[in-house]
A and B are shown apart, each in its own frame.
Chain A
């Protein structure tokens, strides 16, 4: 589909890839780091303030600093991807640690008594119970990622944000509005997707409410 002189389908694909891949990568990294913070108070005292500080750095600044750290070109989409992975990681590490903290001691004790050991306990008991908190964190990270991807357009990385920068240069408000609406729609579609995933992964919460 072409509009405003751009292949909109291509921009949408780039936008989704640049938002979703980093969010999932950030989640995968947050699981071990959050688990570490859950187990070791000393590690937590370093990890939590560090992730807070990373989350504090403005997106445009982080995207621009990436080439120096990664050795990528300034126009590489990897700069945006790694930036959003860092934000997601910083946001979710705390969620993971707190979700694991919140698993009732009686549940883990019962699981241990039934023969669950470290890895089995984590994957079969603790993580499933942490799913609602994880999904809540994932949704926040995902919604902000869809909005932050557009910032990459300022340094030439294509997404629906390209409609905003190009629309500014051409003094074309409709083009900018199309970029905003497209970005919002994508954010909400994936938000609904994560919500649905959370429902599928926690069948017991539906059983309890009788749905």
Chain B
């Protein structure tokens, strides 16, 4: 079996052309980036505003938890049957699945900002939008990033399933392999998806360390700064 798997990886044309591994990886990353970016444009502002005003917070958390129960396969198939084959329906399904974790992250991050800091900002005469953008959003960064990471993994996994409804990407190897009982092809595809997910997770964790404000930031250069956490008694 391992030998057959290695043969599959070494087969001619496996590393070039439209159905080669690099092309499939790029397709998969492309769908993922598109869905996560569209989802973020919708989810992050809505989550931040709801977190700031605290109106509708229960609805946001409830919807995010309820959507977790939706079977991804069913959503994909239903949207494709209703909207037709192509890129639109699977992308819509992926965006739908990317929204809840990012919405919950933005909401809980902003709502969980230190109330003392928010009050101090208000006392200094900051306007509401300044409080949101300059105090609450920076405080929310770690939870927002956790939401983005979870959404990304969810989308990578669901994009694999979406090969069943005709989408390209790495799921093709698994679905096409299954339909002709080509086990090495299925296994090869599964291994590449697994490695891709872990690599993407590590890259996002690394990026997260770079953009997180405050003392948790990974410092590339030593800059003497007085952080809020150090300043607190």
Interface residues of A (CB under 8 A from B): 52-53, 56-62, 64-65, 67-68, 74, 140, 143-144, 146-148, 150-151, 153-156, 160-161, 164-165, 167-168, 171-173, 176-177, 179-180, 183-184, 187-188, 191
Contacts and interface: CB of A to CB of B under 8 A. Distances in A.
Nearest to A171: B81
Contact of B74 (A140, A144, A161): A161
Interface of B: 1, 65, 68-75, 77-78, 80-82, 153, 156-157, 160-161, 164-165, 171, 174-175, 178, 181, 183, 186-187, 189-191, 193-194, 197-198, 201
A180 B153 contact: no
A64 B174 contact: yes
B69 to A, nearest CB: 4
Contacts, number: 128
B81 A173 contact: yes
A176 B77 CA distance: 7
13 contacts: A58-B197, A61-B190, A61-B193, A64-B186, A65-B194, A150-B71, A151-B161, A161-B73, A165-B73, A168-B165, A173-B82, A177-B78, A187-B69
Interface of A is mostly: helix
A72 to B, nearest CB: 12
Nearest to B193: A61
A161 B161 CA distance: 12
Main secondary structure of the interface of B (DSSP, over half): helix
Given A53-B198, A151-B72, A164-B77, A74 B183 contact: yes
Contacts of B187: 64-65, 68
Please provide the 5 A-B residue pairs with the shortest distance between their CB atoms, ordered closest to farther: A58-B157, A180-B74, A61-B190, A64-B190, A150-B71
B159 to A, nearest CB: 9
B164 A165 contact: yes
A167 to B, nearest CB: 6
A60 B171 contact: yes
A164 B71 contact: yes
A172 B78 CA distance: 9
